[in-house]
Amino acid sequence: MILGIETSCDDTSVALVDDQGYVKTLVSVNQDGVHRPFGGVVPEVASRQHTEQLLPLIDRAMTDAGIEWSQIRGLAVTSRPGLIGSLLVGVVTAKTLSLVHELPLVGVNHIEGHLLAPLLRDTSYTPPRDFAFPYLGLAVSGGHTHLFKVEGPGQCTLLGHTVDDAAGEAFDKFAKMLLLGFPGGMRVDQGAKDGDPKAFAFPRGLMHDETLNFSFSGLKTAALRQIESMDPHERELHKADLCASYQEAIVEVLIAKLEKAARQTGLKNWTVTGGVSANSRLRSKAAEAAIRRKAVLALPPLKYCTDNAAMIALAGLYKMRLGQVSDQELTPSASSLPGDWLTP
């Protein structure tokens, strides 16, 4: 049994995962309510929340699962990338628990956690039959939009990434422009339900260039111009169309690049993870693309897509098997480290 700790942004999360990747328990505290008045995540507030929440959450996870410390074989903690103050709370806590309980410690890259999430299992989820390494992994969240070839734990090749905003950030900023509230992605998704995705012709950044990179800043500017050209009544009237068209511009590019990567690599196993993979349009378009290309698509349940400690525990389990344990020198880092990814 591995205990996983995730505190890289604004979710405090603790999980117990066994050596088969089976999630015994996953408990999280979401800070959305705390950050909402500020319209975005405030780093100082986030780290203070983690400080208050983490130890009680660890106690709760152990009690819920009926697990004693003597049954734990290792500690996995997100050590990068993320908000440095938030990461620090998780890393210092994990290092202390490692000393107290004499347990091996593993620092995990948060994005690698997202990429491995489809391999988790529990009473109601198992990965699709035949889904295995190597696979294409699209990690889309508020902080990252990265496309990988995942050949195994520690063997992720970065094929493409956003050159400016992350997809989730683009959703959140648009929601702010339309005064939909925070966090924005889910509200845009809901707002788009009755809208026409063709109503507004928003730009598809880098859609037809030769790379597997993404760009969402042009889309954001175009949407801002469009919204500023409308009076409040018009905005309200066309809200659903604006949401649907904006969402479509993001989803279309994500799927186009996923399919392009599939053509280039020949990979028939795909996964889409990270908070934005909760998006209903992205989920249905990814499923359609997988059928079209006869690919196996793993879409983990939302609790494993958004930031969570189960994916960190699983990544830690793999690393421990590879002997890649950390020591008390482990320090958090705001960005990924050289060597985290292979290059094509």
Binding site for ligand KG4 (CB under 6 A): 9, 141-143, 168, 171-172, 183-186, 189, 274-276, 278-279, 306-307
What is the binding site for Zn ion (CB under 5 A)? 141, 307
98 versus 279: smaller Cβ distance to ligand KG4:
279
Please choose which of ligand KG4, Zn ion, none residue 183 contacts, taking the beta carbon within 5 to 8 angstroms, the exact cut-off set by kind. Answer: ligand KG4
Question: One-letter amino acid identity for 98?
Answer: S
CB of 151 to ligand KG4, least distance (A): 23
Question: In one letter, which amino acid is 170?
Answer: A
Which CB atom, from 80 or from 95, has the smaller least distance to Zn ion?
80
**Of residues 37, 45, 33, 60, the one with CA closest to residue 9:** 45
> To the nearest whole angstrom, how small is the minimum distance from the Cβ of residue 63 to ligand KG4?
25
Minimum Å gap between C-beta 121 and Zn ion is 20
Give one DSSP letter per residue of 270-324, joined into a string: EEEESGGGG-HHHHHHHHHHHHHTT-EEE---HHHHSS-HHHHHHHHHHHHHTT-
By CB atoms closer than 10 A (0-12, 13-18, 19+), residue 186 is: middle
- Least separation, in Å, of the C-beta of 247 and ligand KG4? 7
Q: CB-wise, 65 or 282, nearer to Zn ion?
A: 282
| Closest CA relative to residue 108, chosen from 122, 136, 89, 87 | 87
Shortest Cβ 11–Zn ion spacing (Å):
8
Helix (H) / strand (E) element for 13: namely strand 11-17
Q: How many CA atoms lie within 13 A of 94 on its CB side?
A: 39
What amino acid is encoded at 94 in this protein? A
Cβ distance to ligand KG4 smaller for residue 46 or 97: 46
Q: Kindly tell me which of 98 and 162 has the beta carbon lying closer to ligand KG4.
A: 162
CA-CA distance, 194 to 137, in Å (whole number)? Answer: 30
How many Cβ atoms from other residues are within 10 Å of residue 341's Cβ? Answer: 20
- Specify the residue, 74 or 205, whose C-beta has the smaller distance to ligand KG4: 205
Q: How far is the CB of 278 from ligand KG4 (least distance, A)?
A: 4
User: In terms of Cα–Cα distance, which of 63, 64, 61 is closest to 75?
Assistant: 61
> Which of the choices Zn ion, ligand KG4, none does residue 171 contact, using the CB cut-off of 5 to 8 A by kind?
ligand KG4
Choice between 288 and 327, CB closer to ligand KG4: 288
Closest CB to ligand KG4: residue number: 275
Choose the contact partner of 78 out of ligand KG4, Zn ion, none; CB within 5 to 8 A by kind.
none
Hey, is 246 helix, strand or coil? helix
- Considering CB distances under 5 to 8 angstroms, the limit depending on partner class, which of Zn ion, ligand KG4, none binds residue 245? none
Name the residue with tokens 């079209």: 292
Of ligand KG4, Zn ion, none, which one does residue 142 interact with (CB within 5 to 8 Å by kind)? ligand KG4
| Distance in Å, CB of 11 to ligand KG4, minimum | 6
Nearer to ligand KG4, 109 or 279 (CB): 279
Whether the CB-CB separation of 174 and 183 falls below 8 Å is answered with: no
C-beta of 86 vs 215, nearer to Zn ion: 86
- Please report how many Cα atoms fall inside a 13 Å half-sphere around the Cα of residue 179, on the Cβ side: 5
From Zn ion, ligand KG4, none, interface partner of 184 (C-beta below 5 to 8 A by class): ligand KG4
Q: Of ligand KG4, Zn ion, none, which one sits near residue 29, judging by CB under 5 to 8 A according to partner kind?
A: none
Q: Which partner in ligand KG4, Zn ion, none is near 278 (CB below 5 to 8 A by kind)? A: ligand KG4
Number of helices followed by number of strands (H, E) in the chain: 12, 10
CB of 114 to ligand KG4, least distance (A): 7
- Phi, psi of 113, deg, nearest 5: -55, -50
Query: Shortest distance, CB of residue 300 to Zn ion, whole angstroms?
Result: 13
